[in-house]
Structures are given as structure tokens and as C-alpha cells.
Amino acid sequence: MPVQWRRAGPDLLVGLDPDAGALGVQIQDQVRAAIRRGRLRADERLPSTRRFAAALGVSRGTVVAAYEQLLAEGYLQSAAGSGTRVAAGLEEPAARPAEPSVSAPPTVADFEYGIPDLSSVPLADWRRALIEATRRLRTAELGDGDPAGSMHLREVVSAYHRRVRAGCAVATETVIVAGFREGLSFALAALRRHGIADVAVEDPGPHEQDVLVRRAGLRPLPVAVDDGGIDVASLGRSGARAVLLTPAHQCPTGVVLSPARRRRLIAWASRVDGVILEDDYDAEFRYDRRPVGSLQGLAPGRVIALGSVSKTLAPAIRIGWVLAPKRFAAVIADEKRLCSRGAPGIDQEALALLIETGRYDRHLRRMRDVYRLRRDVLVAEAEHAFGRGSIQGSAAGCHVLLRLPEGVSERTVVADAAGRGVRVHGLERYRFPRGDADVAAARVPSLVLGFGNVDAERIRQGIRVLADAARRAAASDH
Amino acid sequence: MPVQWRRAGPDLLVGLDPDAGALGVQIQDQVRAAIRRGRLRADERLPSTRRFAAALGVSRGTVVAAYEQLLAEGYLQSAAGSGTRVAAGLEEPAARPAEPSVSAPPTVADFEYGIPDLSSVPLADWRRALIEATRRLRTAELGDGDPAGSMHLREVVSAYHRRVRAGCAVATETVIVAGFREGLSFALAALRRHGIADVAVEDPGPHEQDVLVRRAGLRPLPVAVDDGGIDVASLGRSGARAVLLTPAHQCPTGVVLSPARRRRLIAWASRVDGVILEDDYDAEFRYDRRPVGSLQGLAPGRVIALGSVSKTLAPAIRIGWVLAPKRFAAVIADEKRLCSRGAPGIDQEALALLIETGRYDRHLRRMRDVYRLRRDVLVAEAEHAFGRGSIQGSAAGCHVLLRLPEGVSERTVVADAAGRGVRVHGLERYRFPRGDADVAAARVPSLVLGFGNVDAERIRQGIRVLADAARRAAASDH
């Protein structure tokens, strides 16, 4: 049977479809839509339920129920003696905005920092682990659970960190979160609750970490990074009692914190009763030796170590961890309880199983070979195009620093490359914002090249585009 | 072959197991452990690599590599002429704390607020959806993606909200988050960035929401709730330009915001250029009529609606959404980008599929029947034990308010019940903290009974325990 259109009032045409479910609901939906679209205006009187029902050929009870629903929702109002009217003050819904039209050049290479090889994500293993997790979880484990995360995963992660990262964390001082940034937000909030006001950050350092520090109500203090990592003497002079750093493979310069600096850093922390936030973000991938152990293993009472699977498995699997001294772990778990509940319980169990069955390690071994090959290609191509010594920070991780010829503008090269389908950022993006153009101009221009998600052929093409761009920039500047 | 124990120095007994992997790694691990346990003390000199190698019967190169690793990690230090020594300033790792010993009575009934029936979680459906999601996601979708969430899920969720909650949200103004609390944190941060300083909250209202509001740097202002929901006249006098409320089924009183109040609320928001944060937390479960539509549908330019699957599927599946006017949606997505990346991409795709295939709706229909039965049992048992009219707020959702006999102390009943295995909270827990004991004493004592995860038999037993506890409390007070 086709839709029956009937006029229920001067401005209200209602179409009822006997095959589209309850008539009362159809009436409600159409009156609601008429109000939203302005066909029924504020204060306009609706027909009586008797007339409405007669016009549509439905029972009066159906119309009464529809009116009642719309009265309860606030679309209609009724007053003794004046019948049922459209409520006043309802706004127009926002129009659906047009889709933006994008006309970017085809991508040759995307050297964006921090993306792992997405074509190698071990989806079959993860699927198997999810299936097993949904079978193994007990009913009670489907609730909110411990704010610090599932004890199973906390045990597995802390044991993994002890085994692979030479840490000495225990499960009860491990908090599972939904990734590095969430963990950092909670750790910063915990510092604040412990009376810490300033947090030293590496300069250059991870993009936007000053924003995150400020958002937690803390003051970021930039401390210079050189070829040995963060300058611990400057850190001491900063007056901060907390520092956020990337010791295993500095972001973005790629340097590894030197042994002497590691010791001095721990000594600094003891002296000022301080805290070290260790962003242990791509420590698993070291190419020239066994990865340097986590600072957490050296000074468990002073270090809050943060890790995640975003760069080892995939950003689309959101699990991270915070290994913290007891006085911080409880506060971090409490922040998490208040603001989120962290990673899904099912995913937590799946990750615990993935690590326990050895599949996580196997994946990391495989990826180390994949990334080593990409690194080798990148270093060879870049040194061919830009000269020996132009690449820094290739001992570990999935990004390197490329020094451009002196006097060439980072911005010019970045913009030129973007126009030719190569996405890359200059080192300037990672520097602490100061608005000091003279200092910036005096620096060695450099590009940060993330290669985790760029295959060898795209690396070759991308470097060629960058070399051309640098040549053009040099020619135009001189 | 068994482990070979050899003395490498006065305090250093090293056991090498030829079947346990690389000897150099075994040496590293044992030296590290000896330093941590204090067997090797700060500044103690290690044997030369030649002597160490000879003592253990391994090649000198193996020992050199192990020393180098420990030097790089900061456990050892070396200086010209003084050999290799244990670094100073390393702390003892925290001892593993003893497990707390718990001796609680066996649980008779847990009336904790806000937990759905965990034995009904549609795990088989969720598993199927996860499997399908891991097969369907394209490689590029395994990255960080749009900070606002997967466009597929944003489309599905906004369409669901339009269809089931009578909303009028669009996908581009929908942000996917990892649950209600995360969404609320970001929404509050967005209010602050829009220059709003005060947020009115319901009193009584959801537990700890004042803490969450303060944590976002905003000031919570309590506004009284009565039998019609939040008192909009008081809200107007509060001076706040934003309000956080639970209109579909007030938490914890269970009242549904009256039609007149809904209209007045929208009028208030227009008048003060205000924002309504709508916690749409258990609106799907309405027993006496079709659920009242979301306020968002009435005033999309004024309402930020928050929802999640914690109470419809399970807390262990962490996905929520924020439907916000455009000026807020972008800021909320930016907060999310900074502080977390929200729900896992794979889970987002799984939820989109679960909703699209109709399995989500089917589960909700089934649960409505489960909860209706539990509600009926609870109301019948409670009215039998405490008298007619003792239950309020049973028209919707998974909790009700039980009024205790006048003069009986909530705290006494709650503590007595806890000792007999019944977990429940008094209404006092949900009131805005003021430290005003006189006002509290004058109020009708009430208990908030969540029944989502309590089966009919436990409800019966639990109500009996509460009735006994109330009787004892009345006897002891008089």
C-alpha cells in the first residue's frame, strides 16, 4: 500500500505509510520535522486530537499519544482553554555544512613523524587476541574494573618492561591508559597535585608538549638539547623539579642521551627531590646495539615511564601505560578514574594475550628488520643527495634529522616539497615557541623525517624531491 | 647442561645457562640485578673485562659488549685510569607491596549506581563486529585518523541519535570519545576556552561532577532539583551561562524533566547565550512510554549532548560521543587531539557495524525487557517493605530512589547493609558538598538503588536486608 498523504491542518501535510511501523510514531516524527523546518511556527495552534485523527483516518488515541510525546519533549505546549500549540523559542537546526573540496597533489611520500608502518599492522594476530579475550573475560571483568587497569595486563606490561626495557616496575605501580597522550595528561595532573609548578621540556622536543603542559596548569620551561641529549646543567639552572624527556631516541633530533648525562640526570633528580617523565616512545627499535634500558630501571623512585603500542602495533589500537613511583601511581589512577576509564577492558585482555603468547615480540623483531631497511635506504639516499654527515639520529627509532645546506630556508623547502606531494616538517616546528626570529635564522636548517610508514621506493622519490627543493631554495636565496 | 656459577669478583657470582640465550645478555642482567639489590655498591670497581671473561670462561668481547651496554644505560661509569665502577646515586627499587587482605561479607546484592547487566553483554555480537572491523578497515584507517573520530561511526551515531533520540545532529558536529567522562572533560575544557567560568550542576546530581568541573578550571554552582527536575528559576538566578544536567532520567532522583521546564530551560539558554550539557545517559530505557527525545533535537545550537555505550553495551567497551554546535565541536575535537586520541579505531568501526546491522537495537530491546522486569520486582518488593510511594523515579533507566522512613539515618542503614553484604549509597553522596550538617539532617533519608546488574532474586534478598537495616536504625534512634 502506498503512503497516504492527508492534510491535518493548514500547514501540516502528514503522510502515513502502513508498512513503516507504528502510525503514532510516524505522526510524531512528521510533526517534529514540520516544527524544525519552520512549517509549523511558534505558538501556532494544532488541530484538536479529534479533528487530527479524523483527517488522518486513525484512532484518536493514536493522536493523543503522539501529542503527549511531543508535549513531554517540549515541542508542543498546552494551556487550559487554548488547545495545543507549537512551543516558542525552538531554533533552527544547524544546516549540514558542505564537504570541503580538497585539491592536493598526489602523495609521493609522507615523512610525518611518529606513524608506524600501517601495512604491517599484525591485524590477524590482533583479531585472534580479541576473539580469545572476549572468550576469556569473566562477566565481572566487563564492568568498570580497577581504575588502574586490568591486573592481568598490568602484570604482563610491567614484566615486559623489566625484561625488554631493563626496568624494575611492579604491577601495582603500573597504570594502563588509552595511549601516551592520555598517560602524559594524567601524569602532569599528578605532578600538579604533588605541588609541582614547573616542568622542564626538551628544546627542540615533541610537537605541542608545551601546550599539554600548560593545559595541565603547569609552566613549561625549555631546556636546550645538544648532541648528548638534554643539557643537564641547564636543567639544574632552570629551577624545575620535573622534566619531560625522550632519552632513548630524542624527539626530534634523534640523539641518544649519553651515559654521563643519564647519571647526572639521576643525580639532579635526587638533589632537587625531582621527577623524570620518561617518554619511552620508540626505544624498541635500536639498530646498532641492544636498546638502552629505561631510566625507570636506574631510578624507579624518581622516574615516571610512559609507553604505548601506538608505534609498535598501530595508532588505531589505543593502549598505553604509566609506570610510576607509588606516590604518583595512585594519583594517576585517580585522575584516570575521574576523566576517562582508559583503554577498553576487552582490548586490555587482548594485549596481555598478544604479549604472553610471544606474538608481540615476534612482531617487533619483524618490524626492526623492516625499519632497519628503510633507515638504511633513507641514510644512503640522503647522504648521496645532501652529503655525508647530513643525517643525524639514525641509531634508533623511526625518524632521523636531515641537515639542509646552510642558509637554505626550512620553510621554503617544506612548502616547495608540499606542492610536489612530499609532506615533511622543519625542525623549527619542534622548537619551544619564543617568537625570536633572529635566533631561528641563525640555526642550521633541518628537516625531521619520519620513515616508519614510507616504503623504500617512496623514500627514494621523496628524498629526490627534497633535494630538488633544497637546490631551488638555495638558488633563490643567493 | 646445568647453570654454571662462577665468581667474577668478590661480590659478584654470575650463573650462565647455555640454554638461556645470549651469554652477554645474561651477564648484563645479572650485573644490573646485583647493582639494584645492593650486592654491588656505588663506586665499587668491577673486574677488568679480561679477568671477568677469564673467570666466566667467555670471550672478552662478550664482556666488553655487556659493560658497554651497562655504561650506556648508566649503571656503570668509567674514567681513564680508574677502570669501570658502579655508578653512584642509583636507588633501590620499590619493594613489591603486599596484597591487601580483604575480608568482606559475601555479596548479597550490589545496588551500585550505573552498572548494566554484565551477564547480558552481547559479547558474541561484539566479537563478530570486531572481526568484521579488522577485515574491513583500510590500511590508512589504522593511523591516528581524524581527531573527531571515524567518519563512518560519526555518521552512524548521529543518524542513530536522530532516529532514536529525536535529535538533529550531523556527523561533522559529532566527536567520538572513549566514554562519557572523557567527553565531559573535553566539553568542559571547550566551555572554558569559550570564556565560560561557571557551570551550574544539579543538586543532587551525579557523584563527583563538582570535582570534574573544578578539574577543568571551572566553578560548579549547585542548583536544586525537585520533582520536576532542575529548578530553572534558580538556574537563572545562579548567573551561570552553562548547565550540566540529566534530563531524561535525573541522576540520582530519577525524575524526568517536565515539559514546562524543558521549554523554560531552552528559553533560559537563548536569553543568556548559554550552553546546556545534556548527559543522555540512560534515556534508551523508558518503561511507560516512548523515551523522551534529546534536548539536542529541540535546540541544537544550544545543547552539547553526551552519550556512550557503557550502560547499553558494557563499561569494558569504551566508546562515547559528543554532539555539539559547530563552534564547540571543533574545540572539543582539538582537546581530544591534544590529550588522548579517544576510542580505538578498530572498536569505532565495530560499533558502527553493530548499529548498522540492527544488532545494537535488538540488544536494547532485549535489555528493556530485562530491566523492566527487574524494576517491577524492585518496586513491588520495596513498596511491600517500605510502603506505597516509597519508590521514586521508576519510569526510566536502571536506578530508582527509595525513601526511608523519616528520622532514620541514611548512613546507619548503608553501613548496616554493607555489613550484611548489600552495597548501596545514600542520597547524601550525590548532594553538592557544602559541609552543612543541619540541612542534611532535615532531609528525607533516601537510598539510590541501581538495579541494572542485580537479578530479581538478589533484588528480593537485598530489599529484605535493607528493610531489616531500616528497622534496626529506627529502633536505635528512638
A415-434 pLDDT, tens per residue?
Answer: 999 999 999 999 999 999 88
Q: Which three cell numbers stand for residue B130?
A: 570486531
Q: Which residues on chain B are in Cβ contact (under 8 Å) with A172?
A: 96-97
| Chain A, nearest residue to B212 by Cα | A338
Q: Is the pTM of this model over 0.95?
A: no
List all residues of chain A from 96 to 125 with a beta carbon under 8 Å from chain B. Answer: 96-97, 115, 118-119, 121, 123-124
Rounded CA gap, B468 and B170, in Å? 52
Determine, for residues A343 and B318 on separate chains, whether the beta-carbon distance falls below 8 Å.
Answer: yes
CB B19 within 8 A of CB B1: yes
Q: Which residues on chain B are in Cβ contact (under 8 Å) with A316?
A: 137, 141-143, 145, 344-346
Quote the pLDDT of residue A2: 64
CB A251 within 8 A of CB A206: yes
Determine, for residues B69 and A341 on separate chains, whether the beta-carbon distance falls below 8 Å.
Answer: no
Residue A74 host element (H or E): none
Quote the pLDDT of residue B440: 54
Confirm or reject contact between B43 and chain A (CB < 8 A).
no
Q: Which residues on chain A are in Cβ contact (under 8 Å) with B32?
A: 166, 293, 297
Nearest beta carbon to residue B87 from set A68, A130, A263: A263
| Candidates B170, B213, B340, B458, partner chain A, best to mutate (most A CBs within 10 A) | B340
Q: Which residues on chain B are in Cβ contact (under 8 Å) with A297?
A: 32, 36, 73
Rounded CA gap, A312 and A293, in Å? 17
Angle in degrees, 0-180, between the axes of helices A123-136 and A345-356, rounded to the nearest 10 = 120
Q: Which three cell numbers stand for residue A349?
A: 585482555
Rounded CA gap, A323 and A176, in Å? 9
Rounded CA gap, A94 and B216, in Å? 27
Point out which residues pair with A225 in neighbouring strands.
Answer: A230
DSSP line for B177-231: ESSHHHHHHHHHHHHHHTT--EEEEEES-STTHHHHHHHTT-EEEEEEEETTEE-
- In the block, cell 654470575 appears at B14
Q: Spell A380-412 as b/e; 16+ CB within 10 A means b.
A: ebbeebbeeebbbbbbbbbbbbbbbbeebbbeb
- In the block, cell 500549540 appears at A85
- In total, the C-beta contacts within 8 angstroms joining chain A to chain B are 288
Confirm or reject contact between A271 and chain B (CB < 8 A).
no
Nearest to B167 by CA among A29, A98, A15: A29
| Chain A, nearest residue to B149 by Cα | A316
Q: Which three cell numbers stand for residue B369?
A: 525487557
Low-confidence spans in chain A with pLDDT less than 70: 1-2, 10-11, 89-103, 435-442, 477-478
One-letter amino acid of B204: P
Determine, for residues A267 and B88 on separate chains, whether the beta-carbon distance falls below 8 Å.
Answer: yes
CA distances (Å), origin B350, targets A106, A127, A267, B183, B270: 30, 12, 49, 20, 38
What contacts B119, CB < 8 A, 6 or more positions away? A139
Smallest CA–CA separation between A463 and chain B, in Å?
A: 22
| Chain A, nearest residue to B76 by Cα | A259
Rounded CA gap, A351 and B68, in Å? 33
Confirm or reject contact between B211 and chain A (CB < 8 A).
yes
| Chain A, nearest residue to B298 by Cα | A90
pLDDT over 70, % of chain A: 94
Q: Which three cell numbers stand for residue A405?
A: 645546506
Instruction: Work out whether strand B425-426 and strand A4-9 pair parallel, antiparallel, or are unpaired.
Output: unpaired
Rounded CA gap, A2 and A19, in Å? 9
Determine, for residues B144 and A315 on separate chains, whether the beta-carbon distance falls below 8 Å.
Answer: yes
Q: Which three cell numbers stand for residue A419?
A: 606542492
Determine, for residues A134 and B123 on separate chains, whether the beta-carbon distance falls below 8 Å.
Answer: yes
Nearest to A402 by CA among A426, A423, A372, A369: A426
- In the block, cell 587482605 appears at B101
One-letter amino acid of A165: R
* Complex confidence, ipTM: 0.85
Confirm or reject contact between B13 and chain A (CB < 8 A).
no
Confirm or reject contact between A182 and chain B (CB < 8 A).
yes
Confirm or reject contact between A80 and chain B (CB < 8 A).
no
Rounded CA gap, A447 and A31, in Å? 59
Confirm or reject contact between A270 and chain B (CB < 8 A).
yes
Residue A17: count of CB within 10 angstroms of its CB: 12
Determine, for residues B208 and A338 on separate chains, whether the beta-carbon distance falls below 8 Å.
Answer: yes
Smallest CA–CA separation between B441 and chain A, in Å?
A: 29
Confirm or reject contact between A219 and chain B (CB < 8 A).
no
Phi-psi label, residue A51: left if phi above 0, alpha if psi -120 to 50, beta otherwise:
alpha
Encode pLDDT of B302-341 as tens digits. 999 999 999 999 999 999 999 999 999 999 999 999 988 8
Confirm or reject contact between B153 and chain A (CB < 8 A).
no
List all residues of chain A from 302 to 331 with a beta carbon under 8 Å from chain B. Answer: 302, 310, 314-318, 325-326
Dihedral angle of Cα B61, B67, B72, B73, to the nearest 10 degrees: 130
Residue B132: count of CB within 10 angstroms of its CB: 16
Q: Which three cell numbers stand for residue B334?
A: 582539538
Determine, for residues B453 and A208 on separate chains, whether the beta-carbon distance falls below 8 Å.
Answer: no
Quote the pLDDT of residue A93: 47
Residue A393 host element (H or E): none
Q: Which three cell numbers stand for residue A60?
A: 484518536
Rounded CA gap, B441 and B262, in Å? 31
Q: Which three cell numbers stand for residue A302?
A: 624518581
Determine, for residues A72 and B289 on separate chains, whether the beta-carbon distance falls below 8 Å.
Answer: yes
CB A58 within 8 A of CB A16: yes
Rounded CA gap, B262 and B250, in Å? 13
- In the block, cell 623514500 appears at A459
Low-confidence spans in chain B with pLDDT less than 70: 1-2, 10-11, 89-103, 435-442, 477-478
Rounded CA gap, B308 and B179, in Å? 5
**Residue A145, phi then psi, degrees to nearest 5:** 70, -170
Q: Which three cell numbers stand for residue A75?
A: 515541542
Rounded CA gap, A116 and A268, in Å? 34
R_g of chain B, CA atoms, integer Å: 30
Provide the 8-state DSSP code for B443.
S
Quote the pLDDT of residue B120: 95
CB A245 within 8 A of CB A234: no
